[in-house]
Amino acid sequence: MKTCLWAFLFFMVACQSENDAVVKGRIENGKGIKVRLIEVDTDKKKETGNKKLGIFKRFKFSTELQYPRFYELKIGDTASVSIVLKPGQVLNIRANYKDVANTLIIEGSRETNDLIRLEKELIKARKEIDSLYQLVRNDTALYINIIEEVEKVQQAHRRNILAYIIENPSGMVSLATLYHRYDSVTYVFNKMRDLQFFKMVSDSLRNKYPRSKHVNALVANTNNLLQNYQNQRLAQIMERQGVTGRLPDIALPDIHGDTLKFSSLQGKYVLLSFWSANNQECINYNLRLQPVYNKYKRQGFEVYQVSIDTSFNNWKKALRFDEISWHSVQEQDNFFYSRLYNVNKLPYNLLVDPSQTDVLAKNISPAKLDAKLNELLN
């Protein structure tokens, strides 16, 4: 009998692959809830196991891996835990269902703990940035000061992430952090000089995990970024030789809710202007701009003015009170275009040529604009 038992145990151990990874644990106050393990692939998510917790509130999932992969452990309907799982690894997870975030304990994976810590730092930075932007929504006169504060928050957070990446260039967590975002359009690493970190992590992981889908996707993305960088350098060389490219397009809603594109005004000299109805200097500028606009609007001149006012009603009232008739649009959400055009003061403007490839003047006064348009159009 003992011989049979030992033979059975030996058979079970032999059948268990050294690549098998295990995620197990216990969720206090979790009786009756469902725990699910979901693989996060490069293009989709796939459930690999689920367990309804019984009286012992325990769960266990196992999967065979050839290289590290990313997972989410869904605990009930509200809590989610990010996981980096490696072949042969055993993760033991404990938490209280009433407060998973503050009671979570993970044993068996330093990288998973690093990933969760860095995600918490990202969430903290997002909240700080959102609270700063809320101040702008309440008072757009604070825009320039708030933008500076937002940049300080982002720089401090970015330094912490860079320190981790430099120390762990061949870690899967470093790969994940390269794609962290503050919002839907603003990545933590969004500058040209950040290419060096993409390449550093890409080269390190490609040698370590050549079969990983996430690593191969990073390699492909890094190569595309490098190619774009080369294209931009070529464009800069062409610009120095007198050949330029189009300015970034803008597409925002006007007072009627219709989307108006900056590029739709191609063929005319355009004053691209950024302003706020809460800024008296902007209002004064508009009053001085109106006679210049009326003088040249039938001769091939137009104004495309972007409001950073977060109150639609205040913006609308200002347009009607000052009888503004040029093209006016509003940017409400995350000031994407203001940041894209590096708006660091209000009012802010660029005089753009008809092909929208050349900036003829920056922050030009109405008087100087009058003289410039007289030179260009007469």
pLDDT band at 236 (very low <50, low <70, confident <90, very high): low
Domains and CATH numbers, the chain: 15-108 (2.60.40.10), 115-240 (no CATH), 251-377 (3.40.30.10)
**Residue 378 CB partners (closer than 8 Å, separation 6+):** 299
Token pair listed for 232: 């931009």
Token pair listed for 175: 């790969």
Residue 229 has pLDDT above 80, yes or no: no
Q: How far from 269 is each of 303, 349, 362, 372, 376, CA to CA, in Å?
A: 8, 13, 13, 11, 9
3-state secondary structure of 41: coil
Rg (CA), the chain: 28
E strands, the chain, are 20-28, 34-40, 45-52, 58-64, 69-75, 79-85, 90-96, 105-107, 251-253, 259-261, 269-275, 301-307, 327-330, 348-352, 359-362
CA 99, 61, 57 angle in degrees (round to 5)? 40
Mean pLDDT of 247-257: 91
Q: Out of 58-62, 96-100, 167-171, 192-196, pick the least confident.
A: 192-196
Residue 13 has pLDDT above 50, yes or no: no
What type of residue is 10?
A: F
The pLDDT of residue 223:
85
Reported pTM:
0.70
The pLDDT of residue 345:
85
The pLDDT of residue 212:
93
What type of residue is 377?
A: L
pLDDT band at 230 (very low <50, low <70, confident <90, very high): low
Residue 4 has pLDDT above 60, yes or no: no
Q: Convert 251-304 into a string of H (helix), E (strand) and C (coil).
A: EEEECCCCEEEHHHHCCCEEEEEEECCCCHHHHHHHHHHHHHHHHHCCCCEEEE
Q: How many CB atoms lie within 10 A of CB 51?
A: 15
Mean pLDDT of 1-23: 59
Give the separation between CA 125 and CA 161, rounded to whole angstroms.
Answer: 12
Mean pLDDT of 344-356: 91
Token pair listed for 318: 């200002």
The pLDDT of residue 242:
46
Q: How many CB atoms lie within 10 A of CB 62?
A: 15
Residue 308 has pLDDT above 70, yes or no: yes
Mean pLDDT of 59-82: 94
The pLDDT of residue 333:
65
Phi and psi at residue 102, in whole multiples of 5°?
A: -100, -5
Percent of the chain with pLDDT over 90: 67
The pLDDT of residue 142:
77
The pLDDT of residue 10:
46
Q: What is the pLDDT of residues 191-202, one digit of tens each?
A: 878 888 999 999
The pLDDT of residue 14:
44
Q: What is the pLDDT of residues 202-227, one digit of tens each?
A: 999 999 999 999 999 999 988 888 77
Token pair listed for 284: 């004064």
Q: How far apart are the first and last CA of the chain?
A: 107
Give the separation between CA 73 and CA 82, rounded to whole angstroms.
Answer: 6
The pLDDT of residue 53:
94
Mean pLDDT of 112-121: 96
CA 137 to chain centre: 20
The pLDDT of residue 116:
96
The pLDDT of residue 233:
59
The pLDDT of residue 232:
60
Residue 11 has pLDDT above 50, yes or no: no
The pLDDT of residue 133:
84
Mean pLDDT of 12-39: 84
The pLDDT of residue 245:
61
Mean pLDDT of 311-335: 88
Residue 122 has pLDDT above 60, yes or no: yes
